[in-house]
Structure formats: structure tokens, C-alpha cells
């Protein structure tokens, strides 16, 4: 799905943070992504009730409950997306903010306390320093040459066997050619289609941006140094490229089948994130790709996305915190939680990490 760069709004000083912020001018972005005025549309998107008129189906809620109960070690520290870090003497050193890589107003909008903390910070740490004029990191992943690998059977044919008649309409809907799909690979295509669907059925709350890139744009406008926790190639490899190809195809086929029905996963995920329940948001996201045939592949993907990278993120954040106070670290919320999450790993290194209420 193509995104156009928003037109730059002229003005002096810092971008004005509006929408949901009490009595403040409209929020605008800066630099690479340009400036975006949220206005009344953002105020509507910032209401959790506007995500969906109905609660998630009971079977989805029950599946999430079972997932969390079955793996408590994976979902500990799951009740907040904003954390304050202090050194052993109690001196404040920085903050951690869990983002959601979905272009939706709830995921993009920063609560006032988070935004004010970011303004007061000295440096920003993010997963990947995009450094490119695109508001959608998944588009960057989709176009990355690492996906352009040859394989014996075209992806479209492999998926057609598992999910007959489902791939072509989705490709046509989002302007993706069959050749692009075959070159991209199943995991990249799963992310591309799921990201595009967030702007389809749930258009009322849609945003052309994700929070990670907005924060980078603002940091550049403010002259804040940006530290990358990993490079793009490492992020791509960790995101499932080394999963066995049959597993990737199977995950894509399942995602396509579920996308044809009443897809309750996206609003349930956004609702959980907006309420600060990162454990439930992660469980909803994983449950979208889980059935009897994909459990092993999803567990392997979960391990690649989080386990190894959490150790890397915690190590680099630890070094940045020791260098100078005033760090604002923003990265995927799923990395915060669990016994091997960034929060737990920083505590093991002697830091005091406590949740910060969003209100």
C-alpha cells in the first residue's frame, strides 16, 4: 500500500502537540515525514470506544486468557507500556515506551505525559533509525532487497494450494502485483497485508504513520541524538526471514483465511494496547497466526522477534543509561514484557524500573 508524504506546514519552534492533548494546538510532525495536523479526526481516533462498537468475541477473549495462563513467564510485566528507569541511588535516568507498529490513531498518539517526557529527554533510542522519507516501516521491509531471493515455486502458487482463491483478491485490493508478491516472500507479505488491513475495515481510526517514525522525526526537528538499538538487516533477519519457507507460507495462508471473516483481532489488539495491557495485546497478535498446524512456527517466530533481541536491546539501553541521564527509549511494546523482556533484564542489571500511569 503506497503512502504519500504529507505536505509540510510552515511554522516556528517545536511541532504543536494537539488532538487529545488538553488545550494545546494540533499535533504536527516534522522533517522527514513532514507535518500532520490531527484535529478533530485525531480526537475521535483517540477514544478507545471508537475503535469498535462491540467487545471482542468471547472466543477470542478466551483464547487470549488461555495463552497468558499457559505461559505466565512470557507475559509478566504486561500491565504498562510506559516505564521510568532510575539508578541504584534513586536518580532518574530515563524512560521506556512500548510502541505498536500499526498505523492507527491509538497506536500513533502519545498520551500527554509520554509526550511531555519525550520533550524533556535529551536523547532518543529506537529499534531502527529509519533515516528514510517513508512513514511506514513495513513498506521499507517489503521493498528491502533481502527479500528478493529465488525459490523453486512461486509464492502465489504455494499459497493457492493452502488457501485457494484468497491471495489474489487481497493483492488486488492493496495494489500489489503477483510478481511483487512472489519476490517479497511470505513473511514480508503477511506484514504488508496485515498493515494494509489496519487502514481498511478500521479506517475511522487510521493514521498514515507509526509512532516509532514520528518520534524520530520530532527528535531530528529538536536536535536530539538518535541511537539505533539494531540495524535494519538485523531487524529483518530477526523478523522471521530464517523461518523455514513452508512455515512462512503456512502462516500467510492462515492470515489470509482469517482475513476473509469478521476479523476481530486488529480492534482487540488496539484496544488492549490503548488500555496499557501489553500482555493481552501481544497474546492477541500471536493468536491471529495460531491454529493446530502453526503453533510451532508461531513459537519459533515469537522467539526470533523477541528473545534474542531483548538481550541486545537491554544491553544497549543499559550502556546509554550509564552514559548520560535523559534517555527516552521507544521500541515495540512486546519487548518490554516477560521474564526475558527488557524491563526484567534492566532490573537484573541493577536499574529500578517502575510503571508510569498514562493519566
Contact 86, 93 (CB under 8 A): yes
Name residue, grid cell 506546514.
Answer: 9
- At 153 the pLDDT is 59
- CA separation (Å) from 81 to 156, 187, 215, 253, 278? 38, 26, 16, 31, 7
Low-confidence ranges of the chain (pLDDT < 50): 1-55, 132-152, 198-204
Residue 190 grid coordinates = 503477511
- Sequence-ordered list of residues with C-beta below 8 angstroms from that of 247, at least 6 positions apart, any chain: 294, 296, 297, 300, 301
pTM, whole model, 2 decimals? Answer: 0.70
pLDDT tens, residue by residue, 13-53: 333 333 333 332 222 222 222 222 222 223 333 333 333 33
Nearest Cα residue to 284 out of 57, 49, 50, 97: 57
Name residue, grid cell 523461518.
Answer: 243
Our CA dihedral for 8, 12, 13, 19, rounded to 10 degrees, sits at: -50
Nearest Cα residue to 2 out of 177, 165, 146: 177
How many other CB atoms are found less than 10 A from the CB of residue 241?
A: 18
- At 19 the pLDDT is 33
Judge residue 62's burial from the number of C-beta atoms within 10 Å of its C-beta, 0-12 exposed, 13-18 middle, 19 or more buried. Answer: exposed
pLDDT tens, residue by residue, 158-171: 777 777 787 788 77
Residue 310 grid coordinates = 531483548
- At 151 the pLDDT is 40
Angle, to 10 degrees, between the axis of helix 278-287 and the axis of helix 265-274?
Answer: 170
- Sequence-ordered list of residues with C-beta below 8 angstroms from that of 183, at least 6 positions apart, any chain: 147, 148
Give the burial string for 330-349 (b: 16+ CB within 10 Å, else e): bbbbbbbbbebbbbbbbbee
Our CA dihedral for 15, 332, 167, 54, rounded to 10 degrees, sits at: -80
The 3-class secondary structure across the chain, one letter per residue, is CCCCCCCCCCCCCCCCCCCCCCCCCCCCCCHHHCCCCCHHHHHHHCCHHHCCCCCCCHHHHHHHHHHHHHCHHHHCCCCCCEEEEECCCCCEEEEEEEECCCCEHHHHCCCHHHHHHHHHCCEEEECCCCCCCCCCHHHHHHHCHHHCCCCCCCHHHHHHHHCCCCHHHHHHHCCCCHHHHHHHCHHHHHHHHHHHHHCCCCHHHECCCCHHHHHHHHHHHHCCCEEECCCHHHHHHHHHHCCCHHHHHHHHHHHHHHHCCCCCHHHHHHHHHHCCCHHHHHHHHHHCCCCCCCHHHHHHHHHHHHHHHHHHHHHHHHHHHHHCCCEEEEEEHHHCCCCCCHHHHHHHCCCEEEECCCC
Contact 99, 334 (CB under 8 A): no
Amino acid at each position: 500500500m503506497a503512502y504519500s508524504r504529507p505536505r509540510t506546514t510552515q511554522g516556528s519552534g517545536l511541532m504543536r502537540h494537539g488532538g487529545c492533548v488538553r488545550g494545546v494546538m494540533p499535533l504536527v510532525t516534522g522533517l522527514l515525514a513532514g507535518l500532520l495536523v490531527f484535529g478533530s479526526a485525531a480526537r475521535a481516533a483517540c477514544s478507545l470506544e471508537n475503535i469498535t462498537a462491540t467487545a471482542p468475541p468471547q472466543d477470542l477473549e478466551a483464547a487470549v486468557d488461555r495463552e497468558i495462563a499457559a505461559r505466565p513467564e512470557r507475559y509478566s510485566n504486561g500491565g504498562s507500556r510506559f516505564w521510568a528507569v532510575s539508578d541504584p541511588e534513586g536518580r532518574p535516568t530515563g524512560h521506556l515506551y512500548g510502541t505498536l507498529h500499526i498505523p492507527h490513531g491509538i497506536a500513533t498518539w502519545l498520551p500527554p505525559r509520554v509526550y511531555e517526557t519525550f520533550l524533556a529527554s535529551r536523547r532518543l533510542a529506537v529499534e531502527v533509525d529509519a533515516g528514510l522519507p517513508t512513514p511506514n516501516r513495513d513498506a521499507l521491509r517489503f521493498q528491502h532487497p533481502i527479500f528478493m531471493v529465488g525459490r523453486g515455486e512461486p509464492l502465489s502458487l504455494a499459497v493457492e494450494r493452502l488457501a485457494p482463491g484468497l491471495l489474489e483478491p487481497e493483492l488486488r485490493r492493496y495494489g500489489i502485483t503477483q510478481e511483487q508478491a512472489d519476490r517479497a516472500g511470505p513473511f514480508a507479505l503477511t506484514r504488508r497485508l496485515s498493515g494494509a488491513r489496519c487502514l481498511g475495515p478500521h479506517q475511522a481510526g487510521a493514521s498514515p504513520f507509526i509512532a516509532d517514525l514520528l518520534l524520530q522525526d520530532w527528535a531530528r526537528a529538536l536536535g536530539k541524538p538518535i541511537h539505533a538499538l539494531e540495524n535494519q538487516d538485523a531487524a529483518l533477519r530477526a523478523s522471521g526471514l530464517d523461518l523455514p519457507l513452508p512455515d512462512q507460507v503456512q502462516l500467510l495462508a492462515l492470515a489470509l483465511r482469517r482475513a476473509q471473516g469478521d476479523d476481530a483481532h486488529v480492534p482487540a489488539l488496539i484496544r488492549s494496547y490503548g488500555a496499557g495491557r501489553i500482555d493481552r495485546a501481544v497474546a492477541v497478535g500471536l493468536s491471529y497466526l495460531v491454529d493446530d498446524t502453526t503453533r510451532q512456527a508461531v513459537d519459533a517466530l515469537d522467539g526470533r522477534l523477541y528473545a534474542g533481541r531483548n538481550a541486545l536491546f537491554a544491553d544497549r539501553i543499559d550502556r546509554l543509561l550509564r552514559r548520560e541521564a535523559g534517555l527516552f527509549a521507544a521500541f515495540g511494546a512486546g519487548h518490554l514484557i516477560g521474564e526475558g523482556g527488557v524491563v526484567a533484564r534492566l532490573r537484573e542489571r541493577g536499574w529500578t524500573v517502575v510503571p508510569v500511569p498514562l493519566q
